[in-house]
Chains A and B, each alone.
Chain A
């Protein structure tokens, strides 16, 4: 399982970010090029489009011990594949209400639109998200202890 505390015992969350290749991943690159920092807790997975993100991936991340999952896509109307982000939005809305039902804090998941030109926004979104997750603390609800055991 991932180490979730710093040397002085503070909670250090694990955050998975799914970024679409055309807008948000490029926005993340721009944040890097502009040296706009955000916490190292955020790890990005590149997907062609936000509509490639299967709700299953999010559940899997929580199962494996992630504390927060964020999906970033192009702004509505700007999707490289025309309508992909609309699909993502609808699917995630459904998933989030299911997570609500399971008792997972709503703030652990988020959908954000970040364009390729919005490096500043990318870093702001990530800073804000990481702050919220740190406040929420460790995700215990969905963590699969069997995963933990098999790996230990």
Chain B
């Protein structure tokens, strides 16, 4: 069993993000459209991964509510790319349990004509195989 610290290092490596570059301005959370539905917010992901608090993040609903819209990546002044960190935490869970937040059969029912293409693509980030 991995320690939290080891998991954090894995997540950092997998995401290719250096959380130490963050200057804690909060622009990611300021721009996030899914903010209200999150228990942990994008800026917290960056700082908690840096501090090695992974178990809390694995249990958070934020990893599923993140839209993967990449607004935080687009606007981060330090090129920290919070969405990639969230994605890496999500992968930790998907890989470990093989569990999916979405069932592939359920996706057609959820489809809505007005849904932006990116949202559909993003949904597959919450589904392994």
Any A–B CB pair closer than 8 Å: no
